Structure 1
Amino acid sequence: MVDTMVRLRALIRSARLRGTPPRPAAEAPVGDEVLLDAPDDRLGPALVAAAHGAHEPAAGLLAGTRESAEWEHRDRYTARLAAFAHARPEWLRTWQTTAPGDQDGLLVRARLAVDRCWQSPDRAELLRQSAPAVTAAAEAGGSDPVPWRIALDSARGRRAGHAEFERLWAEAVRRAPHHYGCHLAALEYLATASPGAHRECLDFAETAARDAPEGSLVRALPLRAAFRYLTDGTAGTVERARLDTAADLALTLSAGLPPADPWPAELRNLLAYVLIRLGRGPDAAEQLRLTGPYATSFPWDRGTDDPLGRFLAVREEVRGAAARGGPGAPAPPWNGRCSRAGRGDH
């Protein structure tokens, strides 16, 4: 186990903050080491094995999520495995050679095919060329909604028409009515198809959140819509109350999740970001406490190549303001409406 953890640490970007020895996570989520995009204890061994050319742990991980219908975990693990394969593809090629029809391997290859096209100026044409990989994953997926989430992302990148997108959306929600990834893909499609339509995006997100069961990640969809509004340079006005309500929904969701855990880290990082933009410093400080040592590239990577550095700087400001008893951190340089600089995500 020690050797595995040493190798795992070499695969993830981290910064060591010197100080007192770390305390147990459940007692004090703020540790002395901050990890960027750290995998959880299920994904980590699969990434370590992949780094050594072995695909079997990744295959076992995804098969387990499929058999237990853990669609949110399956979606996130697929994305992380595809991102790893982008730089280290040997293990995925071996998987394809040894089990060309394996539906979990097809899923990772479909995610990778779409991701590879995303940053190209010829994205739309490349995504059309990658359609067979996406179709193969969907056809093999059965009740799995994740291939349809990938298909929705591809349709957005190709600027597909509403009719095609609605067909894909119907396939996705028929399999999992409250899958967060599919809802996020739909929200991003709405935002891309109608720039500046922030009220409409919030309408969609709020309706989905109301319909979702308690504890569902879809309850955080309005937070993503609020984030889009706060970081979009287009005109339009959304009532402050709606933005606060979106943050409050996510606060309730965060309160039900374990502290200092990689799984809710992206939710808490995004929530802290939005709370700071809304001037709610004490609430942001609590989310930064709960996220503990787990920083995520999104949303801190907007307009910078050093998301970890930005996270650490913002956390220091928020903590300092809390120690002084003030209302929150002073507005950082990126606070306020800004352009679509930065990498974002899809």
Structure 2
Amino acid sequence: MVDTMALLPPFVRSPRTARTPVQHPAVALPADDEVLLDAPDDHLGPALVAAGQGTWQTASRLLAATREGAAWENRDRYAVRLASFAQSRAEWFEDWRTAAPHDPDMLLVGAQLAVARAWQSPARAELLREVSPLITAAARGDDRDPVPWRIALDHAHGSNAGHKYFEELWEAAIRRAPHHYGCHAAAMRYLADSWHGSHQECFDFAETAAQDAPADSLVQALPTRAALAYLTDGCGPDVAHERLDAAADRAIALSARFPAADPWPAEMRNKLAYVLSRLGRWTDALEQVRLIGPYATSFPWDRLSDDPLGRFLELREEVRLHAASGHPRSGHTERAHPGDH
């Protein structure tokens, strides 16, 4: 097993406009008006509906099941979505907090909610320091759970924590779940800031993590995240085209392991479709668009536009037209200017 920490010296490191729906019969794509943004899966959906009706018990049971089954990737996603919902509709969560103040699942959502609220404030660093006890409480709720440590990594990133402290958090996180995607993505966000413009180091980190991960782990898509950062950054030295292609190929292999039109791998596929389009690999991008089906995700399109769903639909049409033109690959890659994202 490759020691991921070896890569961290000294811790290395607008409203949507009206549009006419477009049909895509030739490639069997859903119509534009059938595409959903950030649609929940069959487990999260009922919890969000119940929360909208003011009850928390369904969310509690959902997160308890992920903890009991050590389904850490799902637990991470569900905690983020439930906390996001609580930002606009908090009554159900406050009732949960009152009824079960020591519930590890409530503590997890509470920590995620507190960090998300602080992150949006101009006084982010100061507010984040104030929510540290909530993250500590969540981490103590179940010592096996890596998700509070992912939240702690995001918290440290936002509060400009030093490398030594961040490295300690990282070691605690991967000790609990060596291949947890959320923790790796949080580390990438920190490293991207620490190594601003040094995309080679970010690729080193992502590729080593992917090489060490099981073939069906989402960590296999981590190099594609490094490629996305490079393609939308516009600074630092160039990354070899072969390295970008290898990142995309690894994610294509991972995508093939999941069913088509499945919300679970949708974000990975949306990210991959964008990277493939930027590499001019139109036929490969079209296949990912087909596999995405009706499941658009905010990331990465919200980095490119104030209308993420509209941006996805535009990209989808661009991919379809290029692939149909008989030029499966343009052979030309350009990087976005910093103002493009």
Answer whether TM exceeds 0.5 for this pair: yes
Aligned match of 1:104: 105
Aligned match of 2:10: none
> Which runs of no fewer than 5 residues in structure 2 stay unpaired?
1-18
Cα contact 1:29–1:290 (8 A) shared by 2: no
Question: CA-to-partner distance for each residue in 1:117-157, whole Å, 9 max, x for gaps?
Answer: 11222111110011111111112121000000000000011
Structure 1 residue 236 corresponds to structure 2 residue 237 = yes
Seen in structure 2, the aligned counterparts of structure 1 residues 179 and 330 have a Cα distance that, compared at 3 Å, is: same
**Paired amino acid for 1:193:** S
Q: CA deviation at 1:19?
A: 5.9
Q: CA deviation at 1:100?
A: 0.5
Cα contact 1:317–1:330 (8 A) shared by 2: no
**Paired amino acid for 2:252:** L
Structure 1 residue 47 corresponds to structure 2 residue 48 = yes
Aligned match of 2:335: 336
Cα contact 2:279–2:332 (8 A) shared by 1: no
Q: CA deviation at 1:314?
A: 1.2
**Paired amino acid for 2:307:** D
Q: How far, CA to CA, are the matches of 1:59 and 1:81 in structure 2?
A: 10
Aligned match of 2:9: none
Question: CA-to-partner distance for each residue in 1:149-190, whole Å, 9 max, x for gaps?
Answer: 000000011110111111111111111011010011111111
**Paired amino acid for 1:31:** P
Aligned match of 1:64: 65
Q: CA deviation at 1:303?
A: 3.9
- 1:298-337 superposed matches below 5 A: 298-327=299-328, 336-337=335-336
Seen in structure 2, the aligned counterparts of structure 1 residues 181 and 287 have a Cα distance that, compared at 3 Å, is: same
SS in 1 for 2:35: strand
Q: How far, CA to CA, are the matches of 1:17 and 1:172 in structure 2?
A: 45
Structure 1 residue 150 corresponds to structure 2 residue 148 = no
Q: CA deviation at 1:197?
A: 1.5
RMSD of aligned Cα (Å):
2.1
TM-score when normalising by structure 1: 0.88
Structure 1 residue 89 corresponds to structure 2 residue 90 = yes
**Paired amino acid for 2:166:** F
**Paired amino acid for 2:278:** R
SS in 1 for 2:233: coil
SS in 2 for 1:231: helix
- 1:104-253 superposed matches below 5 A: 104-253=105-254
TM-score when normalising by structure 2: 0.89
Cα contact 1:40–1:263 (8 A) shared by 2: yes
Aligned match of 2:30: 31
Seen in structure 2, the aligned counterparts of structure 1 residues 241 and 185 have a Cα distance that, compared at 3 Å, is: same
**Paired amino acid for 2:327:** G
Q: CA deviation at 1:327?
A: 3.0
Q: How far, CA to CA, are the matches of 1:81 and 1:17 in structure 2?
A: 31
* Residues matched between the structures, number: 320
